[in-house]
């Protein structure tokens, strides 16, 4: 085409033609479009938002379309309402459903004026993604994740908390205000409880940091330390800031983690999936610290109550035994007094007998002695006569057995060396013997010996 065949146009002239054309086609019309926000810039002094609306290919991330956009006035108010309703900041990389009008300005080019933003679309995206992750967790991990009604039961939630939680592993950002609140609450608790805290710092926002957060969870497990609990905390933020806690791999690890996991994620609206998979979910880091303190306080209260019960039972037992002992004492004293009175009565009776009858006793004994003396006189003559007869008998026997009487009967006594010989084996031939007769004594010598 020859540029000289037509009169050349100024750029502004062409821009005005474009403006008239675009206004003629799109003027007075609005459109609801789905796009990602990028290059966002907010001017607080003018309450203007400047950004680009972008559509990317879902597989290659190639940009399919990109148009500049802006919002001010009522549109800025609608963005603020959107942020309040969703907890999601209007910023880069969020997918939104917005109402726009098409405008072309020769000075600024083609722009989309944002008029309104659909809150339900964004919330629905979050919820749809969340539901898909939960369904996958249930389907692929049925051995340690189950659901009963609206409640999720995991291996981690079934762990029994120790009576006292003292050694704590904490996963958080080192710059998080919520982490500082957590530490301050524990270290200045009203009961003086001491906690041993090991920090595992990592970024805790942005889906891209889910892998780093999972690595810290693994580091706690591989530390070999016997932690009483693992606390996962972060401060408040926009809804998308919590998407890291809806990550599938992270929550799968939390559900099967062998140490009770306590979450203190600073959200006030919907629960994250991490809250559902963990042992105990609290709303904020401070609430997580208060849970640990309250748990330990409950144990201390239980110990104190047991102590009081033991004291009460002991006092009751002492009172009961004291009462029983008092009853036994009364019975013993009563029985002893009765026994003493009985013995006293017997002694009094015995003493009365002794005092009243000594003369009768002495008189009876004198009569007994007189009777005995008379009996002795009566029987002494008979006794001595009998004994005299016994003596005469023994004298006759002695006289009969006397040696002289035996010799008179013709017997002889044989002596050797003036000793009576009764053993013939001691007498040998040549032995001198003395033979004693009744009136004669003979001396002789043994010539021979013969055994009869």
Per-residue pLDDT of 302-341, as tens digits, reads 999 999 999 888 888 888 888 888 888 778 778 778 888 8
Distance of alpha carbon 253 from alpha carbon 154, whole angstroms: 11
**117 pLDDT higher than 90:** yes
Per-residue pLDDT of 393-426, as tens digits, reads 777 777 777 777 777 777 788 888 888 877 777 7
Average of per-residue pLDDT across 347-352? 74
Alpha helices, DSSP H, located in 284-402: 285-356, 358-400
Q: Beta strand pairing status for 280-282 and 261-265?
A: parallel
Q: What pLDDT is attached to residue 83?
A: 85
- Confidence band, pLDDT 50/70/90 cuts, at residue 270: low
Angle of CA points 146, 87, 241, to nearest 5°? 65
- Confidence band, pLDDT 50/70/90 cuts, at residue 73: very high
- Confidence band, pLDDT 50/70/90 cuts, at residue 267: low
- Confidence band, pLDDT 50/70/90 cuts, at residue 385: confident
Q: What pLDDT is attached to residue 273?
A: 93
Q: Where are the domains of the chain?
A: 11-117, 127-299, 405-445
Chain centroid, CA 144 distance in Å: 25
Distance of alpha carbon 115 from alpha carbon 105, whole angstroms: 17
Which 3 state secondary structure label does DSSP give 116?
Answer: strand
Q: Beta strand pairing status for 280-282 and 413-416?
A: unpaired
Average of per-residue pLDDT across 102-115? 92
- Confidence band, pLDDT 50/70/90 cuts, at residue 113: very high
Distance of alpha carbon 211 from alpha carbon 220, whole angstroms: 14
Average of per-residue pLDDT across 29-42? 94
Average of per-residue pLDDT across 161-172? 97
- 275 contacts: CB under 8 Å, gap ≥ 6: 245, 263, 265, 281
- Name residue, tokens 């009764």: 422
The CATH H-level (homologous superfamily) assignment of domain 11-117 is: Nucleic acid-binding proteins (2.40.50.140)
- Confidence band, pLDDT 50/70/90 cuts, at residue 30: very high
Alpha helices, DSSP H, located in 87-209: 119-140, 177-187
Q: What pLDDT is attached to residue 356?
A: 61
**358 pLDDT higher than 70:** no
Q: What pLDDT is attached to residue 216?
A: 96
Q: Which of 250-264, 288-302, 317-331 has the lowest mean pLDDT?
A: 317-331
- Residue 87, sorted as left (phi over 0), alpha (psi -120 to 50) or beta, turns out to be left
- Confidence band, pLDDT 50/70/90 cuts, at residue 364: confident
Q: What pLDDT is attached to residue 355?
A: 64
Average of per-residue pLDDT across 131-136? 92
Q: What pLDDT is attached to residue 2?
A: 55
Structure-token pair, residue 61: 């991330």
Q: What pLDDT is attached to residue 255?
A: 97
Average of per-residue pLDDT across 68-72? 95
Structure-token pair, residue 62: 């190639």
- 91 contacts: CB under 8 Å, gap ≥ 6: 37, 40, 238
Asked if residues 18 and 104 have their Cβ atoms less than 8 Å apart, the reply is yes
Instruction: Centre a 10 Å sphere on the Cβ of residue 322 and count the other Cβ atoms it contains.
Output: 10
Which 3 state secondary structure label does DSSP give 272?
Answer: coil
Per-residue pLDDT of 176-233, as tens digits, reads 889 999 999 999 999 999 999 999 999 887 777 899 999 999 999 999 999 999 999 9
Spatial CA neighbour of 261 closest among 241, 242, 281: 281
Query: Mean pLDDT in the chain?
Result: 87
**147 pLDDT higher than 90:** yes
**5 pLDDT higher than 60:** no
Residue 96 burial (CB < 10 Å; 0-12/13-18/19+)? Answer: buried
Structure-token pair, residue 69: 């956009």
Q: What is the DSSP string of 342-365?
A: HHHHHHHHHHHHHHHSHHHHHHHH
Beta-sheet strand order (sheet of 413-416): 419-420, 413-416, 432-436, 441-445
Q: Beta strand pairing status for 432-436 and 413-416?
A: antiparallel
- Name residue, tokens 């006794």: 383
- Name residue, tokens 């919520």: 178
Q: What pLDDT is attached to residue 318?
A: 87
* 29 phi and psi angles, rounded to 5 deg: -110, 150
- 300 contacts: CB under 8 Å, gap ≥ 6: 191
Distance of alpha carbon 105 from alpha carbon 103, whole angstroms: 7
Q: What pLDDT is attached to residue 252?
A: 97
**352 pLDDT higher than 80:** no
Asked if residues 236 and 251 have their Cβ atoms less than 8 Å apart, the reply is no
- Which residues is 32 bridged to in the sheet? 99
Which 3 state secondary structure label does DSSP give 79?
Answer: helix
Average of per-residue pLDDT across 157-167? 97
Instruction: Centre a 10 Å sphere on the Cβ of residue 98 and count the other Cβ atoms it contains.
Output: 25
Distance of alpha carbon 141 from alpha carbon 273, whole angstroms: 15
Distance of alpha carbon 445 from alpha carbon 430, whole angstroms: 6
**369 pLDDT higher than 90:** no
Q: What pLDDT is attached to residue 86?
A: 76
Q: What pLDDT is attached to residue 274?
A: 95
**260 pLDDT higher than 90:** yes
Kindly provide the residue ranges of all beta strands, DSSP E only, lying in 142-279, ordered along the sequence: 145-148, 151-154, 167-172, 196-201, 229-234, 261-265
CATH code of the domain occupying 127-299: 3.40.50.2300
Q: What pLDDT is attached to residue 213?
A: 94
Percent of all residues in the chain with a pLDDT value above 90, rounded to a whole number: 47
- Confidence band, pLDDT 50/70/90 cuts, at residue 446: confident
Q: What pLDDT is attached to residue 441?
A: 84
**123 pLDDT higher than 80:** no
Q: Please report how many Cα atoms fall inside a 13 Å half-sphere around the Cα of residue 445, on the Cβ side.
A: 3
Spatial CA neighbour of 204 closest among 184, 165, 169, 177: 177
Q: What pLDDT is attached to residue 269?
A: 59
């Amino acid at each position: 085409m020859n540029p000289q065949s037509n009169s050349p146009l100024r750029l502004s002239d062409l821009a005005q033609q474009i403006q008239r054309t675009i206004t003629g086609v799109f003027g007075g019309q609005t459109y609801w479009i789905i796009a990602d926000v990028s290059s966002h810039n907010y001017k607080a002094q003018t309450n203007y938002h400047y950004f680009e609306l972008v559509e990317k290919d879902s597989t290659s991330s190639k940009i399919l379309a990109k148009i500049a956009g802006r919002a001010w006035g009522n549109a800025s108010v609608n963005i603020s309402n959107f942020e309040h309703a969703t907890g999601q900041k209007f910023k880069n990389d969020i997918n939104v459903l917005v109402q726009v009008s098409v405008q072309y300005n020769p000075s600024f080019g083609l722009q989309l004026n944002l008029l309104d933003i659909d809150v339900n679309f964004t919330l629905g995206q979050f919820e749809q993604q969340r539901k898909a992750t939960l369904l996958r967790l249930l389907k692929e991990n049925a051995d340690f994740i189950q659901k009963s009604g609206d409640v999720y039961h995991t291996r981690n939630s079934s762990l029994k908390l120790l009576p006292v939680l003292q050694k704590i592993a904490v996963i958080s950002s080192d710059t998080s205000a919520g982490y500082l609140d957590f530490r301050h609450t524990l270290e200045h608790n009203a009961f003086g409880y001491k906690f041993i805290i090991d920090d595992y710092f990592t970024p805790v926002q942005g889906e891209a940091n889910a892998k780093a957060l999972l690595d810290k969870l693994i580091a706690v497990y591989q530390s070999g330390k016997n932690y009483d609990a693992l606390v996962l905390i972060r401060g408040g933020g926009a809804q998308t800031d919590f998407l890291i806690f809806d990550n599938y791999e992270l929550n799968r690890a939390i559900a099967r983690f062998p140490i009770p996991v306590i979450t203190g994620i600073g959200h006030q609206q919907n629960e994250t999936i991490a809250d559902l998979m963990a042992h105990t979910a609290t709303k904020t880091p401070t609430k997580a610290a208060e849970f640990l303190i309250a748990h330990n306080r409950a144990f201390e209260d239980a110990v104190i109550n047991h102590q009081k019960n033991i004291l009460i039972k002991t006092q009751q037992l002492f009172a009961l035994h004291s009462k029983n002992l008092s009853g036994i004492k009364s019975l013993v004293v009563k029985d002893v007094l009765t026994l003493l009175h009985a013995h006293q009565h017997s002694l009094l009776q015995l003493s009365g007998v002794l005092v009243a009858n000594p003369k009768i006793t002495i008189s009876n004994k004198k009569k007994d002695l007189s009777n005995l003396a008379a009996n002795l006189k009566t029987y002494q003559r008979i006794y001595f006569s009998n004994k005299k007869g016994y003596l005469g008998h023994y004298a006759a026997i002695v006289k009969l057995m006397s040696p002289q009487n035996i010799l008179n009967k013709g017997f002889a006594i044989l002596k050797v060396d003036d000793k009576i010989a009764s053993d013939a084996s001691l007498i040998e031939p040549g032995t001198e013997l003395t033979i004693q007769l009744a009136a004669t004594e003979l001396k002789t010598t043994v010539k021979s010996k013969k055994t009869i």
